[in-house]
Amino acid sequence: MMPDPSMSAWEPEIRPRQTVWQRLDHGARRLLPSLFIALIIIFFSAPLNIPGAAELLPALVIATVFFWSFWRPTGMSGVAVFLLGLFMDLVGFTPLGVSAFILLLVHGVAFYSRFGLMRLNFLLVWGVFALVAAAACLLQWGLACLFRLSMLDIAPALFEALLTIGVYPPLSALFSWILHRLDEKEDI
């Protein structure tokens, strides 16, 4: 038998070769969170007159990135986070690269502290997330101040931080349910 040059041959564990369908399935699972964020970005940047859309979009994106980087880093790789952040910057009116930078930092924190965080219960995780979200929003505000070279009003940043913290529990419930369903399918 010829050595298989495809990627699966270089995976650490030995697995049977995947069929096309299985590969599509896996790919879809990996892309699911990124697709969700992309759709959210497109939805919220459309002129639909949703109240608080400008604050709700970063809140949803930060919460989603944190959750998936924490529980399933395979579904939310660094490259995906970077591309999504860049996309958000391009669609929105933030300076180019700022969202990508902040989202990468959130991803990094969640990714490297995941083994510590996993032992904690939900409320503590939420507390850590609150700190991360507040830091992210303040960082965004600080960068905006830096680029404008003037002090901007901090109230929107605080509102965004509160919104981010508040949006995490329902999103986390939704994603936990999705993860549960995906794992069930995996078992079959």
Partner 1 sequence: MIPVSIQMRQALGKLVLPLLVLLSIGIIIGGQADRKLADKARMTVADGLAPLWGLMTAAQNRAQAISSSLREAGRMASENARLQKENDNLRRWYDVAVSLTRENDTLKTALHWIPEPTPAFVTGRVVADSGGIYARAVLLVAGTDSGVRVGNVALAANGLAGRVTETGARSARILLITDIASRLPVMLDASHATAIMGGDNTPLPRLMYYAQDTRPIEGERVVTSDQAGAFPAGLPIGTVHYLHPGQPVVVPFAQLDHLTMLRVFDFGQALIDPPEAPGHVPLAHPRQTLTLPLKTLLGQG
Count residues contacting partner 1 (CB under 8 A)? 34
Task: Name the 3-class secondary structure at 32.
Answer: helix
Provide the minimum distance between the beta carbon of 11 and partner 1 in the complex, in angstroms, as a whole number: 9
**Of 1-9, 18-26, 131-139, 155-163, which segment contacts partner 1 by CB under 8 A?**
1-9
Which has the closest alpha carbon to 44: 92, 106, 109, 114? 92
Angstrom distances, CA of residue 105 to CA of 18, 22, 164? 34, 32, 16
Provide the minimum distance between the beta carbon of 144 and partner 1 in the complex, in angstroms, as a whole number: 12
Provide the minimum distance between the beta carbon of 124 and partner 1 in the complex, in angstroms, as a whole number: 24
Nearest 10 degrees: Cα torsion 27, 33, 39, 40: 180
Residue 175 burial class via C-beta count within 10 angstroms: exposed 0-12, middle 13-18, buried 19 and up: buried
Residue 150 is a binding residue for partner 1 (CB under 8 A) = no
89 to 128, contacts with partner 1 by CB under 8 A? 90-91, 95-98, 100-101, 104-105, 107-108, 111
Binding residues (CB under 8 A) for partner 1: these are: 5-7, 10, 12, 42-43, 45-48, 77-79, 81-82, 85-87, 90-91, 95-98, 100-101, 104-105, 107-108, 111, 143, 147
